[in-house]
Amino acid sequence: MTTPSAERGQWSSRVGFILAAAGSAIGLGNIWRFPYITGQNGGAAFVVIYLLCVVLICLPYLLAELVLGRHTQKNPVGAIRLLRPGSPWIGVGVLCVLTGVGILSYYAVIAGWTFGYIFKNLLFAHLDFGHFVASPWIVVPLFAVFLGLTMWVVFGGVEQGIERWSKVLMPLLVLLMAVLIVRSVTLPGAEKGLAFYLKPDFSKVTPGVVMAALGQAFFSLSLGMGAMITYGSYLSRREDVVASGAYVALFDTLVALMAGFMIFPAVFATGHDPASGPRLVFVVLPEIFQTLPLGGLLGALFFLLLSIAALTSTISLLEVVVAYFVDERRWSRKRSVWVVGVLTFLIGLPSALSQGTVEGLTRMDWLVGEEGFLGQHDFLSIMDALWGNLALALGALLLSVFIGWVWGAEKAAQELQQGSQISPGLLRIWQVFIRYICPVVILIILVNVLRGYLG
Ligand code: PFF
């Protein structure tokens, strides 16, 4: 292993990188967000559009972020500054860093719920979700603990911190999901859920649905805010970016699809509304566990593993922001982690209090009107729509223009080729995607949504 600088570090192996990048990608986005967004957007037709977005937009774009990172060996701001010093493009890097803080602020709140559910399953099975999330004395400490855990891991630096966590536990999570799928699809009434999830009805598709699918694909793969630039920057030139990136996209998509099979049959079997929003997974899963022997224990184990999946994602969110301060501002790792962590806590507080604790945050119609912001009404969901959806799509649009046109698709393609066996034909196709298809499609979707929103 070669270490560029003591404060930066590098992955010790290819497998280490794939697991860490998959660890960033696989998280609450797959298991909490994918089912609820699918439920809100009508089911199977949304899933089809989601898969198209992953293959046609996200996969080529993921490779672009990785090569930009590997080429420059820097965080998003540093990467852009190195290639175009003093240009306004640096603003895109700044957008990435801000998006990192924005997403982390509410993501760690949900991760805190997940963490709390370990104990709830064991000790307070009767406590219902509505009460749980509306209790500030429960959710705020959980949020703080989760953010603290993330800070603690990021203190440790790349190698010891991130890799160690990713290696053993993700396969265990997938195994447990497989058990839950078997239980869910064999519940009486499960067929309706399978039909909802698998039989597309394209008449339900609106610009909003397409935007939700694209945003979810970016969110799930940790794209559009430079996480993969930063992770790519810890990658050596000998590594095959194409194969590694494809594995990451494949694993991430499989886990999301599994989450759908786990949730929807049970949603219909237990008579819940698939469109019930962020609470969906938290109310449906415990009902599945109730039907299983040792359900309380299995439930606790599941939420423990999900907390760890969330942790490998929050680590990457914080890592982007910290890498910026370490590389660009020459702060120590420790100081960066403290400053960013405390700031994120303050920004996340309103999200933690927006699920029934504070009325003005729970229904923000006073600010966003009756229709809501992209259909969302509470502070947490609005933050999610703003940062986890719009900002990621905008970031990806600007970064693909930067990589395809400003840095240049040929140079990026040369970097992509290093260490990989990609054929010249595929390489040319990739250049077309990064220059034309990715930015144009994202732009069309964004414009359509904003036109609808602005009336
Ligand atoms: N991809 C993560 C998930 O699916 O849970 C969330 C995420 C992590 C989004 C890192 C963006 C990011 F940069």
Distance CA 85, CA 204 (A): 46
Give the residue, by CA position, lying nearest to ligand 1 atom 7: 222
**Ligand 1: centre distance to CA 221 (Å):** 6
Pocket-testing residue among 103, 105, 321, ligand 1, by greatest number of atoms within 8 A of Cβ: 103
What's the confidence (pLDDT) of residue 160?
56
Decide: 403 and 409 in contact? Cβ < 8 Å.
yes
- Mean pLDDT lowest for which of 44-53, 189-198, 270-279? 270-279
- With a 6 Å cutoff on the Cβ, whether 220 touches ligand 1 is yes
- With a 6 Å cutoff on the Cβ, whether 29 touches ligand 1 is yes
Q: What angle do CA 205, 210, 211 make, to 5 degrees?
A: 140
The string over 372-389, giving b where at least 16 C-beta atoms fall within 10 Å of a residue's C-beta and e elsewhere, is bbbbbbbbbbbbbbbbbb
Secondary structure (3-state) at 9 = coil
What's the confidence (pLDDT) of residue 125?
79
Task: State mean pLDDT over 356-377.
Answer: 90
- Mean pLDDT lowest for which of 154-168, 305-319, 343-357, 360-374? 154-168
The separation between CA 105 and the C-alpha centre of its own chain, rounded to angstroms, equals 13
- With a 6 Å cutoff on the Cβ, whether 225 touches ligand 1 is yes
Q: Which residue has the higher pLDDT, 9 or 285?
A: 285
User: pLDDT confidence of 383, banded at 50, 70, 90?
Assistant: very high
**Ligand 1: centre distance to CA 120 (Å):** 25
| CATH number of the domain located at residue range(s) 14-454 in this protein | 1.20.1740
Domain boundaries, the chain: 14-454
Q: Match 């997403």 to its residue by tokens.
A: 103
- With a 6 Å cutoff on the Cβ, whether 249 touches ligand 1 is no
Q: Count of CB atoms within 10 A of residue 346's CB? A: 9
What's the confidence (pLDDT) of residue 349?
98
What's the confidence (pLDDT) of residue 406?
97
